[in-house]
Structure 1
Amino acid sequence: MFTLLIVIIVLAFAFDYINGFHDAANSIATIVATKVLTPFQAVLWAAFFNFLAYFISRYIIGEFKIGNTIAKTVSEDFITLEVILAGLIAAITWNLLTWKLGIPSSSSHTLIGGFMGAALAHAALVDGADLSTVINYAKVIPIVLFIFAAPFLGMVVAYLLAVLLLNICRNANPSKADKWFRRLQLVSSALFSLGHGANDSQKVMGIIGAAVIYYHISTGDPVFINSADPFKTFVMEWGWVPLTSFIMMGLGTMSGGWKIVKTMGSKITKVNSFEGVVAETSGAITLYLTEHWGIPVSTTHTITGSIIGVGITKRISAVRWGVTISLLWAWILTIPVSAVLAAIVYYVIRGITALFS
């Protein structure tokens, strides 16, 4: 069992790395599209602030709410190491596939979908198990709702912020204003990268936390059994896990995801420096709000909604709605496809285990 736990931790960090380069586009797409930074400079900038988010989450906010939410999306009665392993394999597979196709899907939702799908597959094999109790709906329903709410919130905030700034700068010299907004893009990109790091790094912590807690309870170790909040105890006892999660996210971001950068930076709508500042700032505000509420959201969905909100301020036709609708379908399908894939992987793992036992 200990070997399996180590495999899960290694795979979780691998997913974190993949998440970083898959979602790097979210942080750098607009700043690259406007040529404020080169792609190489942009990924270094984003990666630094991804990692800096660790110190803000741990020492300023003082907790990891999103990691706690992820760990509790499935009832603890149906969590096993095999379930977690299957969920991770499914999530990694879907992330690599969508990255290869250049589709900015949600790493968050594929991880959650994989976790739930594997747990349901496991519960189906348990005699007398009530499948309706497998998923913790109090945690999952807000996550599902924010598939739509996060981009909508980002869009609204971006639209209002753009209108406000346009009115403030209506008498400004265009060339001088552009120069200022190009500088401000460094700030807005940093703000969004902080939100990206804090939001996405914690998701892997939740999965590792669930695995570690299950392992300790299964082996009779009283550390977590006697705790009123097992996840909080896990963070305290395994402090290297949060730190490593943020490091892996930053390293992944440094690897970039150039196909998705192209989609985010130009295919939805053409973006200038002013619009880049608005989109990144609006995305950051949305991420900070959802993190405060402890709701894991997709940074992909958030920045996409913000870019759409910016595009609407020019004219509705400025947004390439065909591309946007394709993205929406990818978002909707991510959780169920990941869940089905995880269920298949779980049964394969069970079959292999039975074969060699």
Structure 2
Amino acid sequence: MLDPYYLLIAVVILALAYNFTNGWHDTANAIATVVGTRTLTAWQAIALAAVLNLVGAFFSTEVAKAIGNDIVDPKSVTLVVLVAALIAVIVWNVVTVLIGLPTSSSHALIGSLIGAAVAHRGPSILQAKGIMVILIGMLISPVLGALMGAGLMKLIRRIFGNTPRAKVKSIFKYLQIISSGFMAFSHGASDAQKAMGIIAMALMAYGHQTSLTVPLWAQIAAALLMAAGTAAGGQKIIHTIGSRLSRLETPQGFAAETGAALLLTVVAKVGVPVSTTHTITGSIIGVGAAERLRSVRWSVATKIVYAWILTLPGTALMGYLFYYVFRIFEA
């Protein structure tokens, strides 16, 4: 049996590593459209996203509490369960970012945690009501993102319908930098908290605290690692979302980013851990479809949807198997 203190340290390190891979994997969520429209270079956009990811991470801790309380019973989770879940989700994130597949880091974390927890204690450890709320939120977030993106695009067309195209592109070139920053902030507000929730669970499992609260040092560390991962930049996913999914100009990029960011900021404050990847992808599809259905590359969109469907069961299986690898360290 391994000393629980070393398991706690392992969970904290792995949770922060997860946040790094989350930032690396999800850089595209904030900057794909601003790069796709050539408003900023990839490195300019990555630098902007890294800074605002860091700022956004301190916006709220409601999502962290949802991750810690609403998926599995935090009082029944062990440090080994968290180690297995985190290794599974990190492997998933690294593989998918290397092949350029924009899957959801949120789905991957939830699936891994469910799989490892079920391997440890069986289905009774799951919080069915909380999982249902989270899954509903994740299912409707791309739909709401698409509707908000499409609505904003139609509003822009109505307001600027008689303005020369070149002037519209010039106006939105500057506005899109703001919307990209807003998207980066909302990504930090939503996704940085997920590692915070895992660390809070680990502190409970270790016996350091009796309630699911996020210490300040965990907020700071999670924010810094998310920003560092974002700075690393997932170039292949940026290309998939920003260039291959739909042809975007600056007004479309602004509409997609603003619609997704508004939605993500609201749900982060409420405490629903939705997928930023799904939300921005849905928003881009909505904006493209509002212009012309043919402007969306539906073959690319279909492959992304298949990856979304595979993520939850795939990572749940990985978490389940990794738990059996590491259960020799269980007390």
Q: What TM-score bracket applies, with the shorter chain setting the length?
A: over 0.9
**Which whole-Å CA distance do the structure 1 matches of 2:295 and 2:133 have between them?**
31
**Which whole-Å CA distance do the structure 1 matches of 2:268 and 2:17 have between them?**
23
Aligned match of 2:212 in 223, 231, 255? 231
1:78 to partner: Cα distance: 2.9
1:249 paired to 2:226: yes
**Which whole-Å CA distance do the structure 2 matches of 1:239 and 1:290 have between them?**
22
Determine the structure 2 residue equivalent to 1:54: 57
**Which whole-Å CA distance do the structure 1 matches of 2:96 and 2:183 have between them?**
22
Aligned match of 2:102 in 93, 104, 118? 104
- For 2:119, give the aligned amino acid: A
- For 2:129, give the aligned amino acid: A
Q: Over residues 20-41 of structure 1, what are the superposed CA-to-partner deviations in whole Å (9 max), with x where a residue is unaligned?
A: 0100011111111111111111
Determine the structure 1 residue equivalent to 2:12: 9
Aligned match of 2:28 in 21, 25, 28? 25
1:66 paired to 2:63: yes
Determine the structure 2 residue equivalent to 1:127: none
- For 2:253, give the aligned amino acid: G
- For 2:234, give the aligned amino acid: G
**Which whole-Å CA distance do the structure 2 matches of 1:174 and 1:121 have between them?**
58
Q: Over residues 197-231 of structure 1, what are the superposed CA-to-partner deviations in whole Å (9 max), with x where a residue is unaligned?
A: 01000000000110011111xxxx5xx33xxxx12
Matched positions, count: 327
1:147 paired to 2:147: no
Aligned match of 1:212 in 203, 220, 224? 203
Normalising by structure 2, we get a TM-score of: 0.96
Q: What fraction of aligned residue pairs are identical, expressed as a percent? A: 39
1:145 to partner: Cα distance: 1.7
Q: Over residues 282-313 of structure 1, what are the superposed CA-to-partner deviations in whole Å (9 max), with x where a residue is unaligned?
A: 11011012213211011110000000011111
Give yes or no for contact 2:256–2:283 (8 Å, CA) kept in 1.
yes
1:77 to partner: Cα distance: 4.3
Q: Over residues 119-168 of structure 1, what are the superposed CA-to-partner deviations in whole Å (9 max), with x where a residue is unaligned?
A: 000014xxxxxx3x211122211221233201000000011111011000
Determine the structure 1 residue equivalent to 2:91: 93
Instruction: Specify every segment of 5 or more residues in structure 1 that has no aligned partner in the other structure, as ranges.
Output: 58-62, 125-130
Give yes or no for contact 2:149–2:284 (8 Å, CA) kept in 1.
yes
- For 2:89, give the aligned amino acid: A
Map 1:95-244 to 2 at 5 A.
Answer: 95-124=93-122, 131=123, 133-216=124-207, 224-225=209-210, 230-232=211-213, 235=214, 238-244=215-221
Q: Over residues 51-91 of structure 1, what are the superposed CA-to-partner deviations in whole Å (9 max), with x where a residue is unaligned?
A: 11134x1xxxxx41000000011013430000000000000
1:82 paired to 2:67: no
Secondary structure in 2 matching 1:92: helix
1:193 to partner: Cα distance: 0.5
Secondary structure in 2 matching 1:180: helix
Q: Over residues 228-260 of structure 1, what are the superposed CA-to-partner deviations in whole Å (9 max), with x where a residue is unaligned?
A: xx123xx2xx31110111111111100000000
Determine the structure 2 residue equivalent to 1:265: 242
**Which whole-Å CA distance do the structure 2 matches of 1:146 and 1:320 have between them?**
25
1:176 to partner: Cα distance: 1.6
1:318 to partner: Cα distance: 1.4
**Which whole-Å CA distance do the structure 2 matches of 1:176 and 1:323 have between them?**
31
Secondary structure in 1 matching 2:57: helix
**Which whole-Å CA distance do the structure 1 matches of 2:78 and 2:244 have between them?**
42
Map 1:31-50 to 2 at 5 A.
Answer: 31-50=34-53
- For 1:152, give the aligned amino acid: V
Normalising by structure 1, we get a TM-score of: 0.89
- For 1:288, give the aligned amino acid: T
- For 1:231, give the aligned amino acid: L
Give yes or no for contact 1:47–1:193 (8 Å, CA) kept in 2.
yes
Give yes or no for contact 1:102–1:260 (8 Å, CA) kept in 2.
yes
Aligned match of 2:281 in 291, 304, 317? 304
Give yes or no for contact 1:147–1:331 (8 Å, CA) kept in 2.
no
Runs of 4+ in 1 over 3 A off after TM superposition: none
- For 1:66, give the aligned amino acid: V
Aligned match of 1:288 in 218, 240, 265? 265
Secondary structure in 2 matching 1:78: coil
Secondary structure in 2 matching 1:231: coil
